[in-house]
Amino acid sequence: MIFSYRFRSVAKVLLVLLTTSQVMVASGQTLAEQNEALLEELSLVHRLTPDQTRRVREIFAESGFVGQGNPQITRHPMTVEQCRERQPLARSGSDPELERRCGAPFMVPLFDPNSESATDARVCIDQFEFPDVPCAFPVVWVRAREAAELCTAVGKRLCDAHEWEGACAGALTAPDYRFDLSVNRDEAAAVKAMREAHNRTHAADKSWSYGGQYQPGVCAAASSKSEGCDGGNWRQCGSNTYPAGAFPACRSSLGVYDLNGNAAEHMNLPLAPEQLASRGDQLGVTEMKGSWFIFDQYRAHEDWCRWRAPFWHGSRVMDPKSHHNYHLGFRCCKTVAPQRENP
With 0-12 CB in 10 A as exposed, 13-18 as middle and 19+ as buried, what is 313? Answer: middle
Residue 149 has pLDDT above 60, yes or no: yes
For helices 31-45 and 50-63, give the axis angle rounded to 10 degrees. Answer: 150
pLDDT score of 341: 56
pLDDT score of 2: 37
pLDDT score of 330: 98
In angstroms, how far is CA 259 from the centroid of its own chain?
A: 7
| DSSP classification of residue 79 | -
With 0-12 CB in 10 A as exposed, 13-18 as middle and 19+ as buried, what is 178? Answer: middle
pLDDT score of 57: 97
308 assigned to some structural domain: yes
276 assigned to some structural domain: yes
What's the Rg (C-alpha) of the chain?
19
pLDDT score of 232: 83
Per residue in 266-305, pLDDT (tens digit) is 999 999 999 999 998 799 999 999 999 999 999 999 999 9
342 assigned to some structural domain: no
Per residue in 47-80, pLDDT (tens digit) is 999 999 999 999 999 999 999 999 999 999 999 9
Residue 16 has pLDDT above 70, yes or no: no
Per residue in 193-202, pLDDT (tens digit) is 999 999 999 9
Residue 13 has pLDDT above 90, yes or no: no
Backbone conformation region of residue 106, classed left if phi is above 0, alpha if psi is from -120 to 50, else beta: left
Residue 276 belongs to domain spanning: 2-335
340 assigned to some structural domain: no
pLDDT score of 8: 43
Number of independent structural domains in the chain: 1
127 assigned to some structural domain: yes
Higher-pLDDT residue of 33 and 280 is 33
Handedness of CA 134, 139, 140, 145 (dihedral sign): negative
Q: Which of 263, 222, 245 is nearest to 83 (CA)?
A: 245
Rounded to an integer, what distance in angstroms lies between the CA atom of residue 264 and that of residue 257?
A: 13
Rounded to an integer, what distance in angstroms lies between the CA atom of residue 140 and that of residue 222?
A: 18
Strands 328-330 and 264-269: parallel
Percent of the chain with pLDDT over 90: 88
b (16+ CB within 10 A) / e for 123-139: bbbbbbbbbbbbbbbbb
Span 138-156, average pLDDT: 98
Residue 15 has pLDDT above 50, yes or no: no
Q: Give me the chain's average pLDDT, please.
A: 92
Handedness of CA 205, 294, 241, 330 (dihedral sign): positive
Number of C-beta neighbours around residue 2 at 10 A: 8
pLDDT score of 303: 96
Q: Which of 194, 179, 188, 175 is nearest to 278 (CA)?
A: 175
341 assigned to some structural domain: no
User: Contact at 8 Å (CB) between 122 and 336?
Assistant: yes
- Which CATH number does the domain housing residue 39 bear? 3.90.1580
Give the largest CA-CA distance in the chain.
63
343 assigned to some structural domain: no
